[in-house]
Amino acid sequence: MGEPLLVFLGDVILAGCNSSSDCSIIQAEALGLREAIKAALSCSLPQIVIEGDNLSVINAVLKIWKPPWVINSVLQDVWCELGNFNSVSFTHCFREANRAADFMAHQGQAAQNLCYKFPPFSVDFSLVIRKDVLGWPPD
């Protein structure tokens, strides 16, 4: 599944993962987006900035592109939940600049169900987060 990462004032406050073996990449990314939005709501965050590396999902949410039918119902949920925030913005970022999400995607391959992780994170994950924040080039 797309990997929800919640960041507040520059610090990751929640990371999630799930197995995505039963769906396509675009479905996994859309489901991850929906879970990230639900998690942000549960944390009572008034505004969110969503950065995603799947341009198809980002542009479908922004209604720049027509949503593929396989994610239309998920996007209906997303659009409904976005109304609960004071401010929402979306940006596309490249996978190489989103190593924390890639790290969690690998964790999701072993997950049986949706799994959330909270700080303090493992040393390995903390290092990946810091490299993303500092803009280090890929290894």
Q: 92-102 burial, b if ≥16 CB within 10 A, otherwise e?
A: eeeeeebbbbb
pLDDT at 2: 59
**Which sequence spans correspond to the domains of the chain?**
5-134
Q: What is the pLDDT of residue 44?
A: 92
Q: How far apart are CA 42 and CA 1, in angstroms?
A: 19
Question: Which pLDDT does position 3 carry in this prediction?
Answer: 66
pLDDT along the chain (139 residues), means of 10: 70 85 89 94 91 93 94 97 95 85 85 88 92 81
What's the rounded Cα separation, in Å, for the pair 5 and 40?
Answer: 9
Q: b/e for 14-31, b at 16 or more Cβ within 10 A? A: bbbbbbbeeeeebbbbbb
Provide the pLDDT for residue 66: 94
For domain 5-134, give its CATH number from 3.30.420.10, 3.50.50.60, 3.40.50.300, 3.30.2080.10. Answer: 3.30.420.10
- The model's pTM: 0.87
Q: DSSP letters along the chain, please?
A: ----EEEETTEEEEEEE---TTS-HHHHHHHHHHHHHHHHHHTT-SEEEEEES-HHHHHHHTTSSPPPGGGHHHHHHHHHHHTTSSEEEEEE--GGG-HHHHHHHHHHTT-SS-EEE-SSPPHHHHHHHHHHHHTPPP-
